[in-house]
Structure 1
Amino acid sequence: MGFRDKEFRRSIFVIALPIIIQQLATSSLNFIDVIMVGRLGETSIASVGLSSNFTFIYICLLNGISTGASIFAAQFWGKKEVHHVRSVLGFSLLLSLSVSLLFSFASIFFPGRILSIYTNDPEVIEQGRIFLRLVGFSFVATSITFCYSAVLRSIGNAKIPMFVSVFALSLNTLLNYLLIFGNLGFPALGLKGSAIATLVSRLVEFGLIVSSVYIFKIPLVFKRIRDFFSVGSGFVRKYFITTLPLILGITFWSLGLNFYNISYAHIGTQAVAAYSVAGTVEQIAFVVFTGLSGACNVLIGNRIGAGHKDKVLSYSRSFIWLAFTGSLIVGACIYLLSGPVLTLYSMSAEAHTTARTLLLLMSCFLCVKVVNMILIQGVLNAGGDTVFTFVQNSAAMWAVGFPMAYIAVYRLHLPIYWVYIFIMSEEFAKLIIGVPRFLSKKWIHNLTENTAYPNQRGQSEEWIENSM
């Protein structure tokens, strides 16, 4: 088993622990931010929640591009071909910047139209419009941060993204405190202050992560502009064959989640507020497993690139087992802490009761969601089996989850907690489809073989030594 392997245990601390700390900071500070916004009332909570739905589609696209880059980068790093790692980063930056410009344009110039898709509440649209427009100015910087962070983790350097993210998020929380309520002599800007805090912190995060790569001479430094375009047709073809299903899958998934959120909004503003609060708590619960998934993706990709198939299978089983046992413990913690946590929010009695019920359900379904995350994002995607995961996710959501949500909301007119139960049928469908695929071993693909690049060899070993 992987637990007895020193490299496996080391990866948990070197890769997973920094990601866990980063995600813990992210979720905890987001949790504090939601509490501060929550003090402005249910309308403000709903405005931020619905604005985040559009942002979430953008983030999912960035995740698709950066995850595709990380899959290739991890395998090339395992093969000790660092020049190819830089090529992967450059190509992913070009793609993500193209996407960010489109979303930035839409959110800056058409925020009201975007929010009207989710709700017809004029007050929610007006507050959300101001928030979304300001946040849209940060999209370009965010796209660059995503790509650098993903590739840094793929080469085993998770510390830089961790420190930068923690600092940026701490700054965001401090600025929220100052600008939402007007503390320490700053103007009280309300929801607009929260948007300004988000914009400033993301710009700072971008500046820090890029400058860190050059200051510490990480092997991701571009010495010439043409290095961004130093990829051959063979790589571009293989990148799109592998990554396009991943991007489409995440896009369809995000659109499906937006349908779920539209369904929640159809139930009422109180339902949106309750789900926003419960969802924030669930994000904190996922912190450990996000780190575990990141370590799994990097380690499995490295081992595939190095040609160690026996370790690939052993490590995969160990990660899945860790996910299963850990999710049972974390689920119990969600249930026990749900009452005290919800007292921090200013909500109506009905919204409070709904959020408490949702947290109870989330604790019960956490196990299957976590196992799916590790199996799909950590194992199958690391093996380059992105076509299968695209079909798996799309089939589960659009053939199972989507119809169940429609029936629960628009036909049966059920309360939000029953709608959530109906939607969770999607997770069970994913598991039923994914387990046989994992057992078949057909998901293991070495993406570094037969890939044409321009000749860039000569400094791989030196770069690796300098980065460790």
Structure 2
Amino acid sequence: MLKKWFHRNSADFRLINDLVVPMLFLQILQLLFQLGDQAIIGRLGVEEFAAVGIASSFIFLITGTIGILCAAFNIIGGRFFGNNEIPKFGQAFNTSMTMSIIIGILFELLLLGTGKWILGTVYDLNFAPATHYLYISGMTMGMNMVLFNFSAYFKNINQAKLLTFSFVAAGIVNIFFDYVLVFGKWGFPALGMSGAAVGSVAGYGASIIVCIYFFRKSSLFSFSLRISRPIAKQLLKLYFPMALQDLIEYTLFAMGIMAIISRMESEFIASYTVVTTLLEIIMIPMYCFASSCMTITAKAYGKQQAGYTKYSYLSLQLMLIFSIPLTLIVISFSYPLIAIITDKAVVISLVEHVLPLALALNLMNGLQMIMRSTLQAIDLEKWVLVYSGVVYAVSLVIIYVCIRKLELTGVYLGFGLSYLLLSLGYVYKLQGREPYAHAKTLSR
């Protein structure tokens, strides 16, 4: 029966996996470097480790929101490149890159002026080394946007494999400078948390240098700091609705969770950071399958292809084939994995207690991600925005109540409930969808 099922869907499986496999490779590389980074920070102390977790999560969330501009370039630039309009493709790249550099500089200046207040007020973290870490690592926001643009560029010209060289360079440089600057090895000063921030900046710098090298070799067009007003309008028209959805679903919700977590004991904060890192192992196939599902479904929907929703269910099945064994492996080898990140006994004990529950409930996260991607691909992104916004708001209240009685366990029970509500809503919305029910939308 399984053989017949695979044979019947083999063509669709190949279509999905052709997108998923290269993304999986890059995501795994990224996770390995992140684990190495945290393994170094985790040996400073529980308070330092917890502070880095809070500050870096804030940087990550803001970067994700402003980085949506580069996703808009990926769409617009892809259209130009697909139509062989290379000069316009170059204008789109130059415009997006220039805007990214400006936005990165502005946000770093804003962070220098408000970073201490943000950590103290939002996260209740009045720890001077954390503020210094935030100031330095804030430079990675603009650097990340530059790399996002290069990533979109290389994907559009079918040279995505070059990004691997860029990321390997970043990881090696980052871990090297983390090691020598955090602990003061080989004659370098011991900078502690600030050394980790310098290592991140150096790593991103190395990645950008590699990207510039391959960009110059491609010779499609020359780069210039220039903004094309018509293209900028197109970018912003796509950016605002996409950024608003990202802001609600990831930035505000995640900041709310961290604001709640940050008021717990430092051992709980550190444990939450470790669990989040280990969950990212399971999230790798989920992100990849959700992304590929969106791309394939959008193409099928645009062509008015019958049965376009099948890709969500096929992607879900493949995701579970990857994720369930991976979940069992992480549970079975939880202790050595945790010990790689931190050597603090109290943190290891807390993580071992909540990790199986967090991993099991996280499988529902993969379901809602794939279904959400499908809805976004068929012009239902506004409905997704409203529905998910309500669910996340309710979930924050539930998590706040649960955490007072169940501590860290309550956080993951709250996550599980939010994933369940999202999944049920998305599946319900997909039921009964007809390929040509929105012919007016399709013909735009």
The residue that corresponds to 1:258 in the other structure is 255
Q: Deviations over 1:109-159 (max 9, x none)?
A: 33322211244454xx21111111111223222212113313543564421
- The AA in structure 2 aligned to 1:320 is L
Q: 1:396 and 2:388 equivalent?
A: no
Among candidates 48, 58, 65, match of residue 61 of structure 1: 65
Distance 2:418 2:398 in 1: 9
> Is residue 2:322 matched to residue 1:341?
no
Give yes or no for contact 1:292–1:374 (8 Å, CA) kept in 2.
yes
Task: Name the counterpart of 2:376.
Answer: 381
Q: Which residue of 1 aligns with 2:23?
A: 19
Q: Hey, what does 1:170 align to over in structure 2?
A: 172
Structure 2: runs of 5 or more not aligned: 1-5
Distance in 2, Cα, partners of 1:167 & 1:246: 31
Among 236, 243, 247, the residue aligned to 1:247? 243
Contact 1:50-1:118 at 8 Å conserved across structures: no
Identify if the C-alpha distance between structure 1 residues 354 and 310 changes in structure 2 by more than 3 Å, giving closer, same or farther.
same
Aligned CA distance change for structure 1 residues 422 and 186 (closer, same or farther; 3 Å): same
- Please give the alpha-carbon distance, in whole angstroms, between the structure 1 residues aligned to 2:156 and 2:325: 28
Residue in 2 that maps onto 1:464: none
Task: Note if contact 2:67-2:145 (Cα within 8 Å) is conserved in structure 1.
Answer: no
Using the alignment, how far apart are the partners of 1:360 and 1:184 within structure 2? 40
The residue number in structure 2 matching 1:460 is none
The equivalent residue for 1:358 is 354
Give how far 1:262 is off. Answer: 1.4
Give the whole-Å Cα distance in 1 for the aligned partners of 2:232 and 2:101: 20
* In 2, Cα distance between equivalents of 1:88 and 1:188: 43
Contact (CA 8 Å) 2:169, 2:206: kept in 1 or not? no
Q: Which residue of 2 aligns with 1:185?
A: 187
Deviation at 1:433, TM superposition (A): 1.5
Give the Cα separation in 2 of the matches to 1:140 and 1:245.
Answer: 21
Distance 1:188 1:289 in 2: 38
Q: Secondary structure at the match of 1:59?
A: helix
Mapped contact 2:96–2:232 kept (Cα < 8 A): no
Rounded to whole Å, the distance in 1 between the matches of 2:193 and 2:441 is: 46
What's 1:38 paired with?
42
Contact 1:271–1:354 (CA under 8 A) maintained in structure 2: yes
For residue 83 of structure 1, report the CA deviation from its aligned partner.
6.2
Q: Does 1:407 align with 2:395?
A: no
- CA distances 1:261-299 after superposition (whole Å, capped 9, x unpaired): 111121211110001111111112222332333333444
Whether contact under 8 Å (2:268, 2:408) holds in the other structure is yes
Cα distance, 1:63–1:437 mapped onto 2, change above 3 Å: farther
- After superposition, the Cα gap between the structure-2 partners of 1:198 and 1:447, relative to the gap in structure 1 and judged at 3 Å, is farther
For residues 371 and 80 of structure 2, the distance between their equivalents in structure 1, rounded to whole angstroms, comes to: 22
8 Å contact kept, 1:75–1:446: no
Query: Deviations 1:312-342 (Å, cap 9, x if unpaired)?
Result: 4443432232123322222222211212222
1:74-125 CA deviation, whole Å, 9 max, x = no partner?
A: 5666676666655654554455445423321122333322211244454xx2
The structure, 1 or 2, with the larger RCO (C-alpha pairs under 8 Å, 6+ apart) is 1
- Asked whether 1:330 is paired with 2:330, we answer no
Query: Aligned residue for 1:231?
Result: 231
Distance in structure 2 (CA, Å) of the matches to 1:70 and 1:417: 39
SS where residue 202 of structure 1 aligns?
Answer: helix
CA distance in 1, matches of 2:158, 2:16: 8
C-alpha displacement of 1:38: 0.6
In the TM superposition, residue 225 of structure 1 has moved relative to its aligned partner by 5.7
Is contact 2:43–2:343 with CA below 8 Å preserved after alignment? Answer: no
**2:1 corresponds to 1:5:** no
Distance verdict in 2 for CA 1:194–1:325, change over 3 Å: same
Residue pair 2:316, 2:367 contacting (<8 A) in 1 also: yes
Query: Out of 206, 211, 214, which is 2:213 matched to?
Result: 211
Q: TM (normalized to structure 2)?
A: 0.86
Q: 2 CA distance for matches of 1:445 and 1:23? A: 37
Give me the whole-angstrom Cα distance separating, in 1, the residues matched to 2:213 and 2:177: 23
Cα distance in 2, alignment partners of residues 365 and 426 from structure 1? 10
Q: 1:69 to 1:312 in 2, by over 3 A?
A: farther
Matched residue SS, 2:44: coil
CA RMSD of aligned residues (A): 3.2
* Matching residue's letter, 1:336: S
- Report the secondary structure of 2:263's partner residue: helix
Instruction: After TM superposition, give the deviation of residue 257 of structure 1 in Å.
Output: 1.0
Deviation at 1:437, TM superposition (A): 2.8
- Deviation (angstroms), 1:208: 2.2
CA-CA distance at 1:175 after TM superposition: 1.7
Query: Could you tell me whether the CA contact under 8 Å between 1:222 and 1:228 is conserved in 2?
Result: no
Give me the whole-angstrom Cα distance separating, in 1, the residues matched to 2:229 and 2:395: 41
Measured after TM superposition, the shift of residue 394 of structure 1 is 0.9
CA distance in 1, matches of 2:77, 2:210: 22
1:426 and 2:430 correspond: no
* 1:331–1:366 CA contact under 8 A, matched in 2: no
Aligned in 2, Cα 1:326/1:163: closer, same or farther, shift over 3 Å? same
Flag the 1:280–1:225 CA change in 2: closer, same or farther, 3 A: closer
Give the drift of 1:30: 0.8
**Cα drift, residue 24 of structure 1:** 0.9
Residue range with higher mean Cα deviation, 255-264 or 66-75: 66-75
Q: With structure 1 as the length reference, what TM-score do the two structures score?
A: 0.82
Q: Identity of paired residues, percent?
A: 18
Q: Using a 3 Å threshold, how does the CA distance of structure 1 residues 158 and 243 change in structure 2: closer, same or farther?
A: same
Distance 1:82 1:258, change over 3 A: same
Structure 2 partner of 1:138: 140
Matched, 1:104 2:101: no
- Which residue in the other structure is 1:199 paired with? 201
Larger CA deviation: 317-326 vs 129-138: 317-326
In structure 1, what is the Cα distance between the partners aligned to 2:26 and 2:198? 22
Instruction: Using the TM superposition, give the Cα deviation of residue 428 of structure 1 relative to its aligned residue in structure 2, in angstroms.
Output: 1.1
Kindly state the Cα deviation for residue 222 of structure 1 after the two structures are TM-superposed. 5.0
Distance (Å, rounded) in 2 between the aligned partners of 1:270 and 1:446 = 55
Specify whether residues 153 and 62 from structure 1 end up closer, same or farther in structure 2 by C-alpha distance, changes over 3 A only: farther
User: 2:63, 2:141 within 8 Å by CA — same for their partners in 1?
Assistant: no
